[in-house]
Structure 1
Amino acid sequence: MKPHDNRAWLLMLPAGAIMLIVGVVPLISVFNYSFHDIFSLQNLHWVGLDWYTELIRSDRFWGSLGRSLLFSGIVLSVQLPLGIWIALVLTRTPRLRTPVLMLLALPLVVPWNMIPIMWLDLISKTGLVGSTLTSLAIPFDPRFNALHTWLVLVVMDTWHWLGLVVILSFAGLSGIPNDYYRAASVDGASRLAVFRYIQLPKISGILSIAILLRFVDSFMIYTEAFRINAGGPNRATTFLTLDLGEEINSFTYGAAAARSMVYFLLVITAAWTFRTVMDRRKGALQDINT
C-alpha cells in the first residue's frame, strides 16, 4: 500500500507566510494598542478595558451599528431578488445574455473612490438625474434630506454590485441539468413551482456566497457614504466605518484600535454564524436525500 504523502502542503507555506505578515501581525498590534492610550508609538499609557467599556456604553456606537445593519439589510433585500430575477430572464433570452452580463459587470471594475464622485455629478443640479428631477418639479435634496441620502446610497450600491449577484445566479442556473426541467414539464409544473423546487435549491450554495459577500461589503461601506454626505444629515448615514475613520483622523488611536477590534469581531461573528447555518442546512438536505 502506497503511503499517503502530505508534502503538497509545503506549497502552502509561502501563502501562509504572507497571510501571517499582512493579516495576523497587524491584528495582534491593533489588539495590543486597544488597551493603551497612545500619545506616540514610544509613549503608550495602559488603560486596560477602558476603551471597550466606553464604546459599549456609548449610544453613538449602538446607533451606528443599527444603521450599518439596516443598510446591509436593505441592500440584501433589494439586490438579491432583483439579481435572481434578471438571471432568470437571461436564461430565457439567449440573445441578451452576453451584452447584459457585460453591462452589469462594468461597474464592478470601477474604483470605489470614483463611484461617489460619479453619482454626485449625476444628482447635482446640472447632472443628468438632478436636472431631470428639477424639470419634473420633483424635490430632491440628498444633502439635507436623510431619506434622499439613504436612497442615493442604496441605488448607488445596487448599481455597483448588482452585477455580482446576477453573474453568480446565472452561473448557478446554467449548471442545472435539463433533465430537471423535462421532468417538471411532464408533471405540468408552473414557473413558480420550477423556481421553488428546482432552481432555488440548486443555486442555494452560490446564493450563500453572494449573501455573505454582499453583507460583509455593505457592512464595511465607507468611501461612498463619506463622499456622498459625510455621514449626514444629522448623522443619519453615520455607519460604524465612518465613526472609525473619524477617530483615526482625530489621532485617538487607542479608541480607534478598540473600535476596530469590536468591528472585526462583529464581521467574524456574522460570517461564522452564516457558515454554521448553511452547514446545518446542507446537512439537513443530505439527510433528506438519503
Structure 2
Amino acid sequence: MKESNNTGWIFVLPAALLLGLVGLIPLITVINYSFFEIFILDKRFWIGTEWYRDIMRSDRFWSSFGRSTLFSALVLSIQIPLGIAIALCIPKRQFWVGLALAGVALPLLVPWNMIPSLWLSLLDPETGIIGSLMAAYGWSAEWKMSAVQTWIVLLVMDTWHWTSLVVILCYSALTTIPAPYYQAAAIDGASPWQVFWHIQLPKLQYVLLMAVLLRFMDSFMIYTEAFPINAGGPDGATMFLAVDLGEEIKAFNYGPSSARSVLYFLIVLTVAWLFTKAQNKIDAPDSKKAG
C-alpha cells in the first residue's frame, strides 16, 4: 500500500493564500452587498433576496442572458471548427511550423483594451482599410445602426482574436499522435476523413473540451471588446450580460449589480461543473482499460 505524502501542499499553500486574498475576499464582499440596499457604503439596509427576485423576474435579465448565450454558441460554432481546420493545415516541416505558429499567435499578443480601437479604425469608411473595401460591397458607413452588422463585427473581431488559442491547443495535441498510426492508416487505404475521425479527433477531445470551456467563459462574459464597439446598441441588440452589469456598476447601483455578479458567477460555475462531469465521462473508459 502506498503511503500518502502531503508535503506537496506546503508548496501549494502560498498560492492558495494569494488566491484567497485576491479572489475569495472580493467574492464574499460582493455576495454580502447583494443582500443590501446601499445608498452609500456607510449606509446599508438589509433587504434579503429582494434583488435576486427582481432580477429573476426581469425581462431585461433574460434578454441579456439570451443574447450572451447566442453569442457564445455562435463563437463556439465558428472558432472550434476553424481552429481545428487551421491546426490540420499547419505544415509539418520544422522551419515552417515555427513561422506558422508565430503568425497564428500574433492576435493573442494584442491587449484586450486595444482590440476595439483597432477594429473601429479598420472599419472606418474613410481611413480604414477594411471599411474602404467593404463599402464597395455595400457595407454601410452607419453599420452601428444595424444590429446584424454590429453582431458580424463582434463575431469577426472575437474570431480574429481568439481562434489562435484553439489552433495552438489543437496543434499541440496533434503532435502527440505517433507516426505509425498514420502509416497504418495509409496501408489500409483510409481516407483523410477516416484518419481525422478515428485517429486525430480522439486525440483532440481533451484539448477541445478545454478550448470550449475557455472560449465559452470568455465569450459569455464579453465586455472589454463589446462595449466600445457599440455600447450595447443599437437598441440594446448587443446588451450582453456583462455589458448590462457594467451599466449597473456605472450607475452606482451596488446592490443590484452585486446580485447580478453573483448570478453570473453561478452560471459560469455551473457550466464549468458540467464540463468537469463531461471530462470525467471521457476519462472513465480510459481508466477501465487501464484497470
Bucket of the pairwise TM-score, normalised by the shorter protein: over 0.9
Aligned position for 2:181:
180
TM-score if structure 2 supplies the norm length?
0.95
Q: Please say if 1:65 is aligned against 2:65.
A: yes
Map 1:209-248; keep pairs closer than 5 Å: 209-248=210-249
Aligned-pair identity in percent equals 51
The one-character-per-residue Cα deviations of 1:98-132 (angstroms, maximum 9, x if unpaired) are 22211121111111110000000011112111111
* Secondary structure in structure 1 of the residue aligned to 2:112: coil
Q: Distance in 1 between matches of 2:6 and 2:209?
A: 31
- Match of 1:52, as an amino acid? Y
- Match of 2:16, as an amino acid? G
- Match of 1:246, as an amino acid? E
Given that 2:31 and 2:259 are in contact with CA atoms closer than 8 Å, whether structure 1 keeps it comes out as: yes
Q: Distance in 1 between matches of 2:121 and 2:2?
A: 66
Q: Distance in 1 between matches of 2:142 and 2:177?
A: 46
- Match of 2:62, as an amino acid? W
The one-character-per-residue Cα deviations of 1:121-160 (angstroms, maximum 9, x if unpaired) are 0111121111112234444543100000000000000110
1:286, CA displacement in angstroms? 4.5
Specify whether residues 137 and 11 from structure 1 end up closer, same or farther in structure 2 by C-alpha distance, changes over 3 A only: closer
Specify whether residues 74 and 4 from structure 1 end up closer, same or farther in structure 2 by C-alpha distance, changes over 3 A only: closer
Q: Distance in 2 between matches of 1:206 and 1:60?
A: 35
Given that 2:107 and 2:162 are in contact with CA atoms closer than 8 Å, whether structure 1 keeps it comes out as: yes
Q: Distance in 2 between matches of 1:265 and 1:66?
A: 16
Q: Distance in 2 between matches of 1:218 and 1:11?
A: 33
Q: Say which is worse superposed, 93-102 or 67-76, in terms of deviation.
A: 93-102
The number of aligned residues is 290
Aligned position for 2:30:
30
1:228, CA displacement in angstroms? 0.3
Specify whether residues 49 and 160 from structure 1 end up closer, same or farther in structure 2 by C-alpha distance, changes over 3 A only: same
Specify whether residues 84 and 93 from structure 1 end up closer, same or farther in structure 2 by C-alpha distance, changes over 3 A only: farther
Q: Please say if 1:265 is aligned against 2:258.
A: no
Given that 1:133 and 1:140 are in contact with CA atoms closer than 8 Å, whether structure 2 keeps it comes out as: no
Q: Distance in 2 between matches of 1:77 and 1:5?
A: 44
Specify whether residues 137 and 55 from structure 1 end up closer, same or farther in structure 2 by C-alpha distance, changes over 3 A only: closer
TM-score if structure 1 supplies the norm length?
0.95
Specify whether residues 74 and 137 from structure 1 end up closer, same or farther in structure 2 by C-alpha distance, changes over 3 A only: closer
- Match of 1:207, as an amino acid? L
Q: Please say if 1:83 is aligned against 2:83.
A: yes
Given that 1:244 and 1:260 are in contact with CA atoms closer than 8 Å, whether structure 2 keeps it comes out as: yes
Q: Distance in 2 between matches of 1:49 and 1:194?
A: 55
* Secondary structure in structure 2 of the residue aligned to 1:154: helix
Q: Distance in 2 between matches of 1:65 and 1:192?
A: 37
Q: Please say if 1:108 is aligned against 2:108.
A: yes
Q: Distance in 1 between matches of 2:209 and 2:137?
A: 41
Q: Distance in 2 between matches of 1:96 and 1:257?
A: 49
Specify whether residues 75 and 93 from structure 1 end up closer, same or farther in structure 2 by C-alpha distance, changes over 3 A only: farther
Aligned position for 2:124:
124
1:226, CA displacement in angstroms? 0.5
* Secondary structure in structure 2 of the residue aligned to 1:66: helix
Q: Distance in 2 between matches of 1:78 and 1:200?
A: 17
Q: Distance in 2 between matches of 1:211 and 1:130?
A: 31
1:5, CA displacement in angstroms? 3.7
Specify whether residues 138 and 11 from structure 1 end up closer, same or farther in structure 2 by C-alpha distance, changes over 3 A only: closer
Q: Distance in 2 between matches of 1:81 and 1:40?
A: 49
Q: Please say if 1:50 is aligned against 2:50.
A: yes
Q: Distance in 1 between matches of 2:49 and 2:40?
A: 19
* Secondary structure in structure 1 of the residue aligned to 2:45: strand
Q: Distance in 2 between matches of 1:264 and 1:105?
A: 29
* Secondary structure in structure 2 of the residue aligned to 1:125: coil
Q: Distance in 1 between matches of 2:4 and 2:89?
A: 48
Q: Please say if 1:148 is aligned against 2:149.
A: yes
Specify whether residues 75 and 137 from structure 1 end up closer, same or farther in structure 2 by C-alpha distance, changes over 3 A only: closer
Aligned position for 1:99:
99
Q: Distance in 2 between matches of 1:19 and 1:4?
A: 25
The one-character-per-residue Cα deviations of 1:239-283 (angstroms, maximum 9, x if unpaired) are 000111000000110000000000000000001011101211221
Aligned position for 1:13:
13
Question: 5+ unaligned residues in a row in structure 2: which ranges?
Answer: none
Given that 1:91 and 1:170 are in contact with CA atoms closer than 8 Å, whether structure 2 keeps it comes out as: no
